[in-house]
Structure 1
Amino acid sequence: MRRADRLFLLIHALRGRRSAITAQRLAETLEVSLRTVYRDVADLQRSGVPIEGEAGVGYMLRKGSDIPPLMFTPDELEALVVGTRFVRAFGGVRLGREAAAALLKIEAVLPPELRERSQRTRIFAPQVDRLENSGLIDDLHAAVTGAQVLRLDYSDNDGRTTQRDIEPLCLAFWGGSWTLGAWCRLRCDFRNFRPDRIVGYAPTGEIFVEVRERGLEAYLRAVSAPRDAQG
């Protein structure tokens, strides 16, 4: 279980209780060690969550208080909702699904007035038929995170197609279009590839090792000023 999910479940276990719950019971519920419960409770307390109690006695939320989402202002909450909508529309299938799940977790513990506010925002990002829904962005993202060498059939401005073996380093969204930043083995240099010009692609089965001379930091230095995608 991810730590963020565990902290969410820990707070949820404390919410609405009239009596303290022991660390042992929390550990059994979350399927973690007592030491992990003690550490997580201490971290939450330091971050401002109003948990009262101590080891050997039990824990509960301070009477009259609620949990961290109360710390969101209405504008912060609206930013989260709008951000989730944009990720669902432009971030690919996988990230869109995870963003929606994250928002559901937040809304599940919001007080009613903030939950209603989250549903009233009038900024939308409709999920229409576009490149992001094809699975291509998900596949490119997987190649970036997995350091997979990709073989591309890539079309240039004049419609000519070349085959490239690339080391994908990052994806960048320019408010309407994506680029894939990579080290191109054909050109022996950094290149930006537009996904809508990728005619075909497949992993070669090779995993590359990112080195300083052609890694992400070197790429970012090379493209520090925005420019058009290259071929």
Structure 2
Amino acid sequence: MSKLKSTERRMKLILMLQQSKERLTAQELADRFGVTKRTIYRDLNTLSELNVPVTHDPFKGYGVISGYNIPPLMFTTRELATIMVGLNFVKSQVDRNLVNDAKGVEIKVKELLPDKLRAFMNSLHNKTIVDPFLNFGHEKKEGGNWYLISSAIAEQQTIQFTYKSLKKNQTTRRKVDPYLLVFYKDHWNMIGFSHIRGETRNFILDQITDLSVTDQIFETPDDFNAEALIFNSSNLGEKVVLHIDKSIDRAFKANIPTKIIKYEAVSSKIIKVELRFDNLDFLNQWLLQFSDKVVVQSPNSLIQKRRDLIDRVSKSIEPF
């Protein structure tokens, strides 16, 4: 048998001991896997630590208790670390249902782990923090839309809901074939085909109410492309041109809540950035963190919004 990674070899070792009608000696196992007896002893000890009921007869060899099934969860510490980061991210969301589901998953995973790995997971739980400010800055609220929409996407079912457009200050009833759920730093969006508009549209989950999943099944387009849907949606908004100081280059690119279309140096200190954004009020607020390190070139509407915001900020610090 060709060389296997230790985890894969141990899984095959369990299967081999289960399927064998007779016990197998350490030498027989070593010969079958092409490793030393010392490696087999180490593997058997590891399996015992993972609560696999390995049995041993000094005259006949090794086996496992009859009727034993492979545990559904056998993780490495690296895999557990990845799981904990993912669960902590979900628990940082403002949707109470998502948070509770993540806690439920964490409890179930811990229940199926051996003591050593459970202790490792508990240590990670207490020492791995995803954005600590989210715990203080957002009140947990009832949700459910995320789960219903994700299920509808998986089952390719059309959904109906009431949508409140804050930009247009109007509420409409929508019928949509949901394609994608996308997380943008502080909120979830759904991208799908709107039956009313006759085109792909972008919807903010916080603005969706009275959601229901219909029995109508839709077909995903043959040319389905997630990246194209995210960055080429018909309502991505106006083109924005900015000049940013090179000193904020890294922070700007790491946190900009949209895709950068063009990024080029215009001098030794200034970079020209082109992007599209559908909510100029939000972008205007977001840009404020970079103070005078960002200069808006266009559109004129954003330039004016920036002037108005700076004016309001300056007035807010004047003494009463």
Partner of 2:145: 136
1:64 is matched with which residue? 45
Alignment correspondent of 1:194: 204
Question: Can you give the 5+ residue segments of structure 1 that lack an aligned partner in the other structure?
Answer: 1-42
CA-to-aligned-CA distance 1:90-122 (integer Å, 9 cap, x gap): 372675256324532564453476355334414
Per-residue displacement from partner, 1:6-34 (whole Å, max 9, x unpaired)? xxxxxxxxxxxxxxxxxxxxxxxxxxxxx
CA contact (8 A) 1:93 1:138 kept: no
Q: How does 1:51-90 map to 2 (within 5 A)?
A: 51=13, 54=17, 55-58=20-23, 62-65=43-46, 66-67=49-50, 69=75, 71-73=76-78, 77-90=80-93
Equivalent-residue separation in structure 2 for 1:178 and 1:170 (angstroms)? 10
Q: 1:104 aligns with which of 110, 120, 140?
A: 110
Residue 31 of structure 2 is matched in structure 1 by none
Q: Deviations over 1:44-97 (max 9, x none)?
A: 97724263654222589834324554x424xx6444323212223437267525
Q: In the alignment, which residue of structure 2 is the partner of 1:223? A: 230
Equivalent residues of 1:183, 1:191 under 8 A apart: yes
Letter in 2 for 1:151: Q
Greater RCO structure (CA 8 Å; 6+ sep): 1
Aligned residues: 181
Shift of 1:199: 3.5
Residue 171 in 1 paired to residue 181 in 2? yes
Quick one: structure 1 residues 172 and 94, their matched pair in 2 at CA, closer, same or farther if it must change by over 3 Å?
farther
Contact 1:88 1:100 in 2 (8 A): no
Cα offset, 1:221, TM superposition:
1.7
- Say if 1:46 and 1:104 are closer, same or farther in 2 by CA, change over 3 A: closer
Give the percent of matched residue pairs that are identical in Structure 1 and Structure 2: 16
Q: 1:168 to 1:95 in 2, by over 3 A?
A: farther
Unaligned 5+ runs, structure 2: 25-39, 51-73, 233-257, 259-275, 280-320
**TM-score normalised by structure 2 residue count:** 0.46
Query: Which residue number corresponds to residue 47 of structure 1?
Result: 8
Provide the aligned C-alpha RMSD in A. Answer: 3.7
Partners of 1:112 and 1:165 lie apart in 2 by 45
Structure 1 length-normalised TM: 0.61
Contact 2:77-2:117 at 8 Å conserved across structures: no
Alignment partner for residue 149 of structure 1, among 148, 151, 158?
158
Is residue 191–residue 229 contact of structure 1 (8 Å, CA) maintained in 2? no
User: Alpha carbons of 1:150 and 1:211: their partners in 2 closer, same or farther (altered >3 Å)?
Assistant: same
Separation (CA, whole Å) in 1 of partners of 2:9 and 2:175: 50
Structure 2 SS opposite 1:221: helix
Structure 2: how far apart are the matches of 1:100 and 1:113? 13
Distance 2:152 2:121 in 1: 37
* Cα shift at 1:178: 0.1
**Structure of higher CA gyration radius:** 2
Distance change >3 Å, CA 95–CA 220, structure 1 → 2: farther
* Matched letter for residue 173 of structure 1: F
Question: What amino acid is aligned across from residue 85 of structure 1 in structure 2?
Answer: N
